[in-house]
Structure 1
Amino acid sequence: MRKSLALAAIPALIVSAVAGTPAVAETQQAPVDVALEWYDVTAATITAAGAPTQVTNNRTWAIGWLAAARALTGTPNSDAAFGDAALSGAIHETLVTLIPARKPELDQSLAATLARIPDGTAETAGVAAGRREARTVLAARTGDGLDPASVNAPFTPPSADPGIWRPTPPTFSPATQYGNRLAKPFVLQRPDQFRLAPPPKLGSPRYNRDLAEVKADGAANSTTRTQTQTDTATFWLGSSYVLYTAPLRVAVDEAARRPLSERAKLVALFHVASVDTQIATSDTKYAYLRWRPVTAIQAAGTADWSPLHNTPAHPDYPSGHNTYSGAAEQVLTTLVGARTAKPYTIGSPSAPGATRTYSNWRQLTLENVDARVWSGIHTRTADTAGVTLGRQVAAYALQNADRLFR
């Protein structure tokens, strides 16, 4: 389901960069913004033929835009021809290598970009620099354990003891994302570097409060959840990667007056942090193996209880949606500021036709925390701990960013 939603949704998600106006409002006279042009090419390419695993798609973004940022590092701001050629060359080389099925479309996109650049040394050198950096990064990431088969490496629960994760209804699917904790991070020294403290003990006051909240507000037939809360849960149900593609594009657009190298670094660091956060998330999830609310509630005597939305096939603590939102908020706030210059509007693949308008990044995080409780698939502790973990990983990635661009 998530794969099909992701492959259908990205273009529709970028509803507007300013409420009431198109996200890309070019005139024939306006110069093409190469950063946004290749942002959209990357998104469209992954939408059409990307991997079925979220972290693999984040990895593709991270490699392409990291290569572009490296090729641009030290380039004079006035050398637009070199910069545009280097960025497009780096991302083209990455995407053609990782998603070869889209080569005809990618070749066409590259040709369109290069047709606007005057022929000469700057153009030739820029493309060569971009391709060279892409090949270097691709080589360094070979065998990093972020391919779909490695991400979903087999995992067998060690026991059926209370508190231990087990497959959940209605499909009782095998565990997913176990292999993330075995993958090679971009910046983290090791996957467990920011491992969270253990979740609340079974039967503790906090555990009981968490479970009571999910049981009441996250039930499929809840009488306490409002329609607004149901709408929020449904809006944020889909892939975090898909849902955050639009906000990141807004940030890249708002940074239009900054050097192209800084904008490339923004995209690269966002996805580097996303990858490392997902690695750290799976490390904590599979270190503690906390069972999901549906399992806990049914085991406590309410055998017919079911959540509003089906439960993903991996442990509860922490929430992956919220580690992603915490990392995203940290990167965007640090690099472009807490608030946007103008409101922006996004849509959701899991709520067709619905849109929401924001003027900051924090509200997205807050809604993600509530949404997973109201969906009945996470405890609030798993959500808030997830935000903390995402912020910690992203802050570390930003603090050590210079290592990526040497």
Structure 2
Amino acid sequence: MKRLSRFIIVCTVLMVSCGTNHDKERLDTYFEGGLSRYNRELTNVIVSDIFTPPVASRIYAYSNIAAYEGIRFMDSTKLSLSSRLNGLKELSTPDPSKNYYYPLVSIVAFTQVGKSLVFDLDKVEAIKNKMLGEVKEIGMDQEVYRNSIDLGETLASEILAWAAKDGYLRRTALPRYSVSDDPGRWRPTPPDYMEAIEPHWNTLRPFVLDSAAQFDPGLPTPFDSAEDSPFYKEAMEVYETVENLDDDKLEVAKFWDCNPNISHTKGHVMYFQQQISPGGHWMHIAAQILEEQKVDGVKAAETMSMLGVALADAFISCWDQKYKSSLTRPETYINNYIDQDWEPILQTPAFPEHTSGHSVASSAAATVLTGVFGDDYAFVDATEVPYGLPPRSFQSFWQAAEEAAISRLYGGIHYRPAIELGVKQGRAVGRLVLERLRKEH
């Protein structure tokens, strides 16, 4: 009897160590919609760290590329993004002699990359550790668990090594933007008169563009202060739009504000309000739809990686023209030539006017999401609810993108050409992303 008891104990220990405590059904349920959840967690860190829109787009892109590379092995038709993204070398693949749980590989890679690209790395590390603790609690074969973490961390290190060569660090050694007396050239705007944000963003390596200038939208209307000039008329359109704004258009302007750091002054006290970036807004739209549709993990990662790349290249493309033309903002022009007391609805961002970043980014995003979900995908956008704004309903991604674009006129921060040319610019970026990245065996 004692001998039998010892045999049962030994067998039980062996069974546990060999991984019979692997609850795949509960693990699959736990990781369902996981990438959407973790993109939201990453957004919370991006917002609290107050990253500018271009920098935020870079974080989303690299993190979601890592997530895709970690989970694509679940679908044999899905190719690696190496060789399709500029400068990305061949990445590690699973050891055929080992077993893995690829949703875990994916989220480990995602969080490991995200952690290395933000300031508050402890917060992302805590998110990752919480996830690993919950996975252990559910139950996963120890060998599979270890193999999956190792592969996720390996992929993350390879993605980060690639990211380290994109020019992001080198840009900080380049000269600051020089303010001049040229009346048509951009200069800092009230209330903070911040210096120019990311004047050398076009020096970063794009993800799929052959250069930052590949889809250059062309120069803005020539600056002119004469009242009969085309440029004066464009400024007057901004002025009159804001002066006659109705409640519906005001709601549109505020919904698509997406300025990550708005300053408020009360008396002698200034405080700042953090909110989501344009890129973050579109990542959240995608995350919401992926959850609603219960899209499988591979397609979800493919979608988010394509969207991240489109947004990142949209900002590189847009910023290239911004600092080439370095056009003055409506607020500066209107105060100088039309009404010295005029203020826009939205706070003017600290970078040149042409083209509209939100127009470029939104059009690129809408192009990718339309390619994935179709032309007439109706949805309710609840992205801004955490920031105190009600949800808005759209009949398509393009309807949302067009509203985001025109919101810049309603808000008083862009002339019409920057909006219309920005839409074309973003559409071109999005099409190239779909063409390059939607390939299968």
Query: Which amino acid is the alignment partner of residue 161 of structure 1?
Result: D
> Does residue 1:318 correspond to 2:355, yes or no?
yes
Please name the residue that 2:248 is paired with: 228
Deviates more, 1:169-178 or 1:278-287: 169-178
Partner Cα separation in structure 1 for residue 220 and residue 334 of structure 2: 17
Does the 8 Å contact 1:152/1:177 carry over to 2?
no
Partner Cα separation in structure 2 for residue 33 and residue 61 of structure 1: 22
What secondary structure, in the 3-state scheme, does the structure 1 residue paired with 2:29 have?
Answer: coil
Please name the residue that 2:40 is paired with: 43
- List alignment gaps of at least 5 residues for structure 2: 1-24, 77-93, 259-276
Partner Cα separation in structure 2 for residue 349 and residue 145 of structure 1: 35
Deviates more, 1:365-374 or 1:47-56: 47-56
Does the 8 Å contact 1:322/1:369 carry over to 2?
yes
In the superposition, the TM-score normalised over structure 1's length comes to: 0.81
2:365 maps to which of 328, 334, 338: 328
Please name the residue that 1:273 is paired with: 310
Partner Cα separation in structure 2 for residue 205 and residue 304 of structure 1: 22
Please name the residue that 2:195 is paired with: 174
Does the 8 Å contact 1:322/1:386 carry over to 2?
yes
Partner Cα separation in structure 1 for residue 155 and residue 161 of structure 2: 10
Does the 8 Å contact 1:51/1:148 carry over to 2?
no
Shift of the alpha carbon at 1:284? 0.4
Deviates more, 1:36-45 or 1:286-295: 36-45
Note the 1:91-240 alignment, pairs <5 A.
91-99=110-118, 100-102=121-123, 103-113=125-135, 115-116=137-138, 118-119=140-141, 122-146=144-168, 150=172, 154-157=176-179, 159-203=180-224, 206-218=230-242, 222=243, 224-238=244-258, 239-240=277-278
Shift of the alpha carbon at 1:146? 3.6
Query: Which amino acid is the alignment partner of residue 287 of structure 2?
Result: R
Please name the residue that 2:91 is paired with: none
Query: Which amino acid is the alignment partner of residue 130 of structure 2?
Result: Q
Shift of the alpha carbon at 1:315? 0.9
- List alignment gaps of at least 5 residues for structure 1: 1-27
Structure 1 residues 210 and 180 mapped into 2: Cα distance closer, same or farther (>3 Å)?
same
Structure 1 residues 278 and 368 mapped into 2: Cα distance closer, same or farther (>3 Å)?
same
Shift of the alpha carbon at 1:29? 8.7
What secondary structure, in the 3-state scheme, does the structure 2 residue paired with 1:339 have?
Answer: coil
Does the 8 Å contact 1:317/1:382 carry over to 2?
yes
Partner Cα separation in structure 1 for residue 386 and residue 26 of structure 2: 37
What secondary structure, in the 3-state scheme, does the structure 2 residue paired with 1:140 have?
Answer: helix
Partner Cα separation in structure 2 for residue 182 and residue 400 of structure 1: 22
Structure 1 residues 232 and 164 mapped into 2: Cα distance closer, same or farther (>3 Å)?
same
Shift of the alpha carbon at 1:229? 1.1
Please name the residue that 1:384 is paired with: 420
Structure 1 residues 261 and 152 mapped into 2: Cα distance closer, same or farther (>3 Å)?
farther
Partner Cα separation in structure 1 for residue 168 and residue 49 of structure 2: 13
Does the 8 Å contact 2:100/2:147 carry over to 1?
no
Paired residues, number: 371
Partner Cα separation in structure 1 for residue 429 and residue 109 of structure 2: 26
Partner Cα separation in structure 2 for residue 152 and residue 273 of structure 1: 26
Does the 8 Å contact 1:88/1:113 carry over to 2?
no
What secondary structure, in the 3-state scheme, does the structure 2 residue paired with 1:73 have?
Answer: helix
Please name the residue that 1:3 is paired with: none
Partner Cα separation in structure 1 for residue 375 and residue 418 of structure 2: 24
Please name the residue that 1:264 is paired with: 301
Identity of matched residues, %: 23
Two-structure CA RMSD over aligned residues (Å): 3.2
> Does residue 1:308 correspond to 2:305, yes or no?
no
Structure 1 residues 92 and 296 mapped into 2: Cα distance closer, same or farther (>3 Å)?
closer
Query: Which amino acid is the alignment partner of residue 236 of structure 1?
Result: W
> Does residue 1:82 correspond to 2:101, yes or no?
yes
Deviates more, 1:40-49 or 1:379-388: 40-49
Please name the residue that 1:398 is paired with: 434
Please name the residue that 1:8 is paired with: none
Deviates more, 1:374-383 or 1:202-211: 202-211
Partner Cα separation in structure 2 for residue 397 and residue 66 of structure 1: 13
Please name the residue that 1:58 is paired with: 57
Query: Which amino acid is the alignment partner of residue 188 of structure 2?
Result: P
What secondary structure, in the 3-state scheme, does the structure 2 residue paired with 1:400 have?
Answer: helix
Deviates more, 1:49-58 or 1:362-371: 49-58
Structure 1 residues 155 and 262 mapped into 2: Cα distance closer, same or farther (>3 Å)?
same
Shift of the alpha carbon at 1:286? 0.5
Partner Cα separation in structure 1 for residue 222 and residue 360 of structure 2: 21
Structure 1 residues 354 and 151 mapped into 2: Cα distance closer, same or farther (>3 Å)?
farther
Partner Cα separation in structure 1 for residue 241 and residue 49 of structure 2: 35
Partner Cα separation in structure 1 for residue 292 and residue 391 of structure 2: 20
Larger gyration radius, structure 1 or structure 2: 2
Please name the residue that 1:293 is paired with: 330
Shift of the alpha carbon at 1:262? 2.4
Structure 1 residues 324 and 160 mapped into 2: Cα distance closer, same or farther (>3 Å)?
same
Partner Cα separation in structure 1 for residue 27 and residue 105 of structure 2: 21
Does the 8 Å contact 1:175/1:313 carry over to 2?
yes
Structure 1 residues 129 and 347 mapped into 2: Cα distance closer, same or farther (>3 Å)?
closer
Please name the residue that 1:375 is paired with: 411
What secondary structure, in the 3-state scheme, does the structure 2 residue paired with 1:160 have?
Answer: coil
What secondary structure, in the 3-state scheme, does the structure 2 residue paired with 1:176 have?
Answer: coil
Structure 1 residues 345 and 166 mapped into 2: Cα distance closer, same or farther (>3 Å)?
closer
What secondary structure, in the 3-state scheme, does the structure 2 residue paired with 1:367 have?
Answer: helix
Partner Cα separation in structure 1 for residue 40 and residue 278 of structure 2: 14
Shift of the alpha carbon at 1:142? 0.6
